[in-house]
Amino acid sequence: MKRMRIVDCLKSDKSLESCTVAGWVRTKRESKENIFIEINDGSCLTNVQVVVGFGDSCYDIARQLHTGASVFITGKLLPSPAAGQKWELKPDKLIVYGDADSESYPLQKKRHSFEFLREIAHLRPRTNTMGAVLRIRNQVSYAIHTFFQQKGFLYVHTPIITTSDCEGAGEMFQVTTLDLLHLPVQDGLIDYSHDFFGAKAALTVSGQLEGELLALAMGDIYTFGPTFRAENSNTTRHLSEFWMVEPEMAFATLDDDCSLAEEFLKFIFTWVIDRCHEDMVFFDERIKPGILHNLESIITSSFEIVTYTDAIAQLKQASEPFEYAVEWGIDLQTEHERWLTEKYYKKPIIVIDYPHEIKAFYMKQNDDNKTVKAMDVLVPGVGEIIGGSEREDRYDVLIQRMQAMGLNPDDYWWYLDTRRYGSAPHAGFGLGFERAIQFITGMQNIRDVIPFPRTPGSAKF
Ligand code: ATP
Ligand code: MN
């Protein structure tokens, strides 16, 4: 069933004698002489307008069509007399594959709230907003691979099931085949030697540790895959299942890491502006006015690098009444992050050199023995979208940090081996894919930038 995507059809530079499209009816309107049907096939935001005249062979079929029905149409693509559209389709043949009951179809023309649409996520891809989000997700994915491939990074695959509970202690989803009603118990504890992997297993919270192992053999690598966190935070920026991009560079420092992050984000933003113009105009007009200009100005200015210590000093003299008190040593809360990037710097910033107490064990100690070579990229409207660091490459220091943080080095013998044999400076970061999409589109809630969100209490569809 050969058909033309509507996006290609609307881009045509000449009339077409025969053009076949297929899609779903968005709206239907009748005048005295004509029936106007708007068809969308997901390939672009704009619908193609099908005009059926009284007396046309498919007039009777067209009259009975409902919003939501799927249709397959062959006709002539002709210049449209209507304002705002170049082409319209005059059908010779109209097949209805599946009609939609107009009483119960939930996506009638009126505007629906994002909350309501989340309840019907199975049909939500047929809305303008989710359609645009999905096309942007597609292009950003393409941009991510293109960026790293052009730079010679190797795309690697890290496991999704893990038995090392690394930094995510307490916020991991357990994976088990044990019978939950009949657990094998030894000395009051569950005996995981009977479990599928012979050990307690969980879904990964990050591919980083394995990413490091691969970087310390292959050079620059990146992963791009799903990540799972069972944190019970019902925020507009957290999902229980989200996608993360994690590059890791061998023979690299924190400086290299910051430069890579900035270049990477700018590459993605440029890509989206170049390739998703229609969808970006939609977000700019309907979701967050100014978002396009915002992206454009970010591409041409440089990110500000600020130390955690300086950021704390700036926050302390802010007149803003923060919910969480600011003190050197605290983990920056979203309100702090957003004040810094939105109110103080008014552009993306990279905060570096965080206190070691609030960061993971694998981050490289600075000489002050208080801070580590960490970096977080904060952007207006979202806050943190990237978290990264130079990794501790010194065996002894790494062991000390693990012990200080209550981790058992024996559990990480394999990770530590890379520091015993041919250790090298290396650095990397994690970009939350959905946070990036949120930033690009201006969408308020992270649940609306992924087709089927998983959040506490909800994993429907
Ligand atoms: P936050 O403090 O915002 O919860 P984090 O410090 O836990 O984030 P990292 O462990 O540094 O996050 O993970 C790297 C990136 O992954 C973050 O910068 C963010 O973009 C993204 N991310 C982290 N947790 C989530 C989540 N629950 N949902 C969506 N994206 C997330
Ligand atoms: Mn972080």
The tokens 């779903």 sit on which residue?
Answer: 24
Q: Ligand 1 mean position to 248 CA, how many Å?
A: 17
Closest residue by CA, ligand 1 atom 10: 387
- Final residue in a domain of this structure, among 110, 135, 150: 110
- Same domain membership, residue 140 and residue 87: no
Q: Whose CA is nearest to atom 4 of ligand 1?
A: 238
Residue closest via CA to ligand 1's atom 9 equals 387
Residue 33 lies in a domain: yes
Alpha carbon 428 to chain centroid distance? Answer: 18
Specify whether 68 is located in the same domain as 148: no
Say which residue the tokens 């599928």 belong to.
Answer: 196
Residues 254 and 380 in one domain: yes
Domain boundary among 85, 110, 135: 110
Q: Do 212 and 266 have their domain in common? A: yes
| 105 and 222 co-located in one domain | no
36 burial level (CB within 10 Å; 0-12, 13-18, 19+): middle
Query: What's the 205 CA to ligand 1 centre distance in angstroms?
Result: 10
314, part of any domain: yes
Residue 74 and residue 94: Cα distance in Å, rounded? 7
In ligand 1, the atom with minimum distance to the C-alpha of 388 is 11
* Ligand that lies nearest to the alpha carbon of residue 171, given by its number in the listed order: 1
Burial of 288 (0-12, 13-18, 19+ CB in 10 A): middle
Q: From ligand 1's centre to the CA of 189, what distance in Å?
A: 32
What pLDDT is stored for residue 170 in this prediction? 67
Nearest CA to ligand 1 atom 3: 384
Instruction: DSSP for 30-78, please give it.
Output: E-SSEEEEEEE-SSSSSPEEEEEETT-TTHHHHHT--TT-EEEEEEEEE
- Nearest ligand 1 atom to alpha carbon 436: 20
The two structure tokens encoding residue 329: 């040593």
Same-domain pairing of 106 and 151:
no
Examine residue 187 and state whether it is found in any structural domain, yes or no.
Answer: no
Q: Which residues are near ligand 1 (CB < 6 Å)?
A: 229, 231, 238-239, 242, 244, 384-387, 430, 432, 434-435
For residue 118, the CA-to-ligand 2 centroid distance in Å is 27
- Nearest by Cα to 5 from 25, 26, 19: 19
CATH of the domain at 104: 2.40.50.140
> Which one of 84, 110, 136 terminates a domain?
110
The whole-number pLDDT of residue 166 equals 57
Number of domains into which the chain is organized:
2
Distance 432 CA to ligand 1 centre (A): 6
Residue 427 · residue 253 · CB < 8 Å: yes
Query: Does residue 26 share a domain with residue 70?
Result: yes
Looking at the structure, do residues 361 and 248 belong to the same domain, yes or no? yes
Residue 175 lies in a domain: no
Tell me whether strands 349-355 and 304-307 are parallel, antiparallel or unpaired.
parallel
Considering the domain architecture, whether residues 141 and 90 belong to the same structural domain is answered as no
Compute the Cα dihedral for 209, 215, 218, 220 and give only its sign: positive
CA distance 450 to 456: 15
Do 278 and 397 belong to one domain? Answer: yes
The rounded Å distance from CA 387 to ligand 2 centre is 4
Task: Give the number of the atom of ligand 1 that is nearest the alpha carbon of residue 360.
Answer: 10
Q: Quick count: other Cβ atoms within 10 Å of Cβ 296?
A: 12
Q: In this structure, is residue 119 part of a structural domain?
A: no
186 within some domain: no
What is the residue range of 136's domain? 126-169+205-448
- pTM here? 0.96
Q: Which residue has the tokens 């702090």?
A: 336
Distance CA 207, CA 213 (A): 10
User: Does a structural domain hold residue 285?
Assistant: yes
pLDDT number for residue 370: 96
Domain co-membership, 276 together with 159: yes
pLDDT of residue 108: 83
> Which of 137, 144, 238 for mutating ligand 1's site (highest number of atoms within 8 Å of CB)?
238
Tell whether 369 is covered by a domain. Answer: yes
Classify 224 as helix, strand or coil: strand
Residues 236 and 285 in one domain: yes
| Distance between CA atoms of residues 61 and 38, nearest Å | 15
At 442 the pLDDT is 97
Token pair, residue 28, equals 């239907």
The pLDDT, as a whole number, for residue 398 is: 97
Can you give the CATH number for the domain in which 358 is found?
A: 3.30.930.10
Give the pLDDT score at 258: 98
pLDDT in tens, the chain (461 residues): 789 999 999 999 999 999 999 999 999 999 999 999 999 999 999 999 999 999 999 999 999 999 999 999 999 999 999 888 999 999 999 999 999 998 899 998 778 999 999 999 999 999 999 999 999 999 999 999 999 999 999 999 999 999 876 555 568 999 999 999 999 999 999 999 999 999 999 999 999 999 999 999 999 999 999 999 998 888 999 999 999 999 999 999 999 999 999 999 999 999 999 999 999 999 999 999 999 999 999 999 899 999 999 999 999 999 989 999 999 999 999 999 999 999 999 999 999 999 999 999 999 999 999 999 999 999 999 999 999 999 999 999 999 999 999 999 998 999 999 999 999 999 999 999 999 999 999 999 999 999 999 999 999 99
Query: For residue 208, which ligand has an atom nearest its CA?
Result: 1
- Closest-CA residue, ligand 1 atom 29, reads 238
